[in-house]
Amino acid sequence: MTAEEERSYLEILYNVSRELASSLDLHEVLTRVLMLVSSNLGVERASLFVLDAEGKPIDAVVLYQGEITSNDSSYISDLLQSGLAGWVMRHKAAALVTDTHQDERWMPRTYEGKVDSAPKSAICVPVMMQDEIHGLLTVVHPQVNYFNAAHLQLQQAIADMAGIAIRNAQLFSDLQKNRDLYQGLFEGIADPVFVTDSDGLIIEFNKLAREVSGYTRKELLKTNMTDLDVRGVKTLASLMNDKRALSIKQYESSLRKKDGQEVPVEVRVSWNRTHEYEFIQWIFRDISERQKLEALRDSMTAMIYHDLRSPLANVISSLELINESLTLESDPQILQLVQIANRSSSIMQRLISSLLDIRRLQSGQEIIRKSDVNLDALVDEAIEIVRPLFESKQINVERITTVEPPKLELDEDMIRRVIINLLENAIKFSPLNTEVTVGIKPGRDEVIVFIEDQGPGIPETYRERIFEKYFRLDTEGKSRGLGLGLSFCQLAVQAHGGKIWVESGKPIGSRFLFSLPFPVDQASSVKG
C-alpha cells in the first residue's frame, strides 16, 4: 500500500468516526457512512444491515448508483440466508470476492436486470459484538479485481466503528424507553404533601399524605417529620444552615408509616418564607416500581457499557498500531490524521466515562478521586484538547482570568470533562469566524468558570430544562446530541459543592457558568 493510499484510508476512517459520533439516529448515521464509503471508493452499491439478537434485520440502508433505495424486509431476509451475505452470516467471517462470476458465494440480483450480468468485485464484512453478528457491511464495484486485502481491512475497521454506533443508538433507545416508562407510571398520580414549621412539626398535609402514612389527622398534627422521613433529621439540619427562600433539596429516602412499614420515596423539600411566617414543604413520591426498573436498567446498561468499551479499545489499539507502523514513513500528514482519529476515539471514551459518572453520581456515591488542581491550568488544558474543533470552524478563543490561579480540591478528570463538554457545546452552536470567550472570575465564596459563545442563544424558557437528562434543544428543526452532556456537567459540579447555570451572552449568544467553592485559606487571595 502506497503512502497516498494509507493517507486516503485514514481520511476515510476519520470521516467515518466523525459521522458516527455526530448523531444517535441510527438510520441517519448508517446513510452518511455509506455515502462516505461510496464517494471515497467509487463503489457501485453498498449496504449496511443492522440485526437483532436473533439475526433479523431491524434497520437497513442500501446505496445504489449514488442514491438511497428502499428494500422490503423479505428481500433483506433472503439475502441473509443466501449469497455472499448468507455465507458471512454462517461463517462469521469477512469475504472478499474478486470476480462475482467466478465465485459461487455471489447471488445475482435479479431486480437489477441486465446490469448485474457484468462481472464485479465485492466485499462483505460482519459487524461483530461478543462473538455474535449484529450487522453486515457490503460494497460492490463494477470492476473485476478492484478490491484487495487493504480494502478488506478498511471495511472491517469501518464495520467495527459502526458496531459502536449501533450500541450507542441501542443504549440511547433503551434509556429513552425507560424514561417514558417512568413518566407513564407516575403520570396523573397525586403525591403525598406535608407542610411543617422550621422545627419539623407537621402543620398541614393533603389527603393522600394521611392515607399513605396511616395516621389520623389528629395524630399527624402531633407528629414531627423526622418520625416519618428516615433522613428527616439530616434534612432539617441542612435547611437550617441554608435558609434561602425557595431553597430546594431533593433526595431518596423512606417514608415510615404508622404500622412501621417503610416505603421507598423520592423527597423534594423546599424552604419557603413569607412576610408572616416560614414553613417547609415536603413532597413524597413512591419509587418502589422505579427502583425495580432502575435495577433492571442498570443491569442492562452495565452490560452495554462493557460492550462499548471492548470494540472501542480495539479501534484505539488499531490506531496505535497504525501510528507505530507510520513512524518510519515520517509523513507528518499521516501522523496528523492518526492524531485526529485518536481524538475522535477520545471523545467516545469521554462519553462512556460521563455515562458511568452519571449513574454513580445519581446513586449518591461521593467523589473519592480528589487532588489539588490548578484550575487555571486545567482550563488551558481543556482548550488545547478541543483546539482542532475551534480551528475547523475558524473560531477564535479569547482567554480571560481575573483571579490568581486557584488550587482547588477536585476530581481533575471529571472537571476537565465538564469544561470540555461546555467548550464543545459552544463550538457546536457557534457560527463560522466567531469568537468564544473562556474565563475565570471570583465569586462570593467560590471561583466561577464561564464560557460564552456568539451562537443563536438559548430561550429563557429552556434555560432550566437543558440540564435535564435526555433533554435536547431543537435547533433549526434538528435535535443534536444525546441530551446527557449538560446533565453530566450539572451532576459533576453539584457533587463538588458548586452550581451551574446559563445566561444570555453579551450582546448575543449564550454564557454558561459554573462555580466551585474554594478553600477558606484561599478566600482572601482569590477575592482580592
- Residues 234 and 280 occupy one common structural domain: yes
| Same domain for 496 and 430 | yes
In a domain, 64, yes or no: yes
Domain coverage including residue 40: 3-181+296-361
Copy the grid coordinates of residue 386: 478541543
Mind giving me the DSSP string for 123-164?
EEEEEEETTEEEEEEEEEESSTT---HHHHHHHHHHHHHHHH
281 within a domain of the structure (yes/no): yes
Min mean pLDDT across 57-61, 188-192, 399-403, 404-408 is at 188-192
Answer yes or no: is 499 within a domain. yes
Q: What Å distances lie between residue 483 and 246, 257, 458, 470, 489, CA to CA?
A: 27, 38, 15, 4, 11
Q: Is 111 a member of any domain?
A: yes
Of 63, 101, 102, 55, the residue nearest 79 (C-alpha): 55
pLDDT score at 247: 63
Q: Do 302 and 263 have their domain in common?
A: no
pLDDT at 526 over 50: no
Q: Note whether residue 354 is domain-resident.
A: yes
Shared domain check, 166 and 81: yes
Q: What percent of the chain has pLDDT over 70?
A: 78
Number of domains in the chain: 3
Domain boundary among 260, 286, 312: 286
Strand partners, 139: 46, 123
Q: Are 493 and 500 in contact (CB under 8 A)?
A: yes
Interstrand relation of 435-442 and 262-273 (parallel, antiparallel or unpaired): unpaired
Q: Please tell me whether residues 58 and 203 are part of one structural domain.
A: no
Greatest Cα pair distance, the chain, in angstroms, is 92
Average pLDDT over residues 144-164: 85
Same-domain check for residues 32 and 157:
yes
Highest average pLDDT, of 101-115, 232-246, 302-316, 500-514, comes from: 500-514
Q: State whether 348 and 496 are in the same domain.
A: no
Residues of the chain with pLDDT > 90: what percent? Answer: 16
16-48 exposure pattern, b = at least 16 Cβ within 10 A, e = fewer: bbbbbbebbebeebbbbbbbbbbeebebbbbbb
> What CATH number does residue 279 fall under?
3.30.450.20
449: pLDDT confidence band, cut at 50, 70 and 90?
very high
Residue 124 lies in a domain: yes
Residues 380, 261: one domain? Answer: no
Residue with cell 450500541: 167
**Based on the domain organization, do 165 and 271 belong to the same domain?**
no
For residues 449 and 353, membership in a common domain is answered with no
pTM over 0.75: no
Q: Tell me the one-letter amino acid at 34.
A: L
Identify any residues that bridge with 242 across adjacent strands, giving them in sequence order: none
Cis before 264 (ω within 30): no
Q: What is the pLDDT of residue 309?
A: 66
Q: How many residues does the chain have?
A: 528
Is residue 495 exposed (0-12), middle (13-18) or buried (19+ Cβ within 10 Å)? middle
From the list 409, 493, 488, 393, the residue with the least C-alpha distance to 450 is 493
- What mean pLDDT, rounded, does the chain reach? 78
How much is the pLDDT for 381?
92
CA 55 to chain centre: 27
The better pLDDT of the pair 334, 123 is held by 123
3-state secondary structure of 269: strand
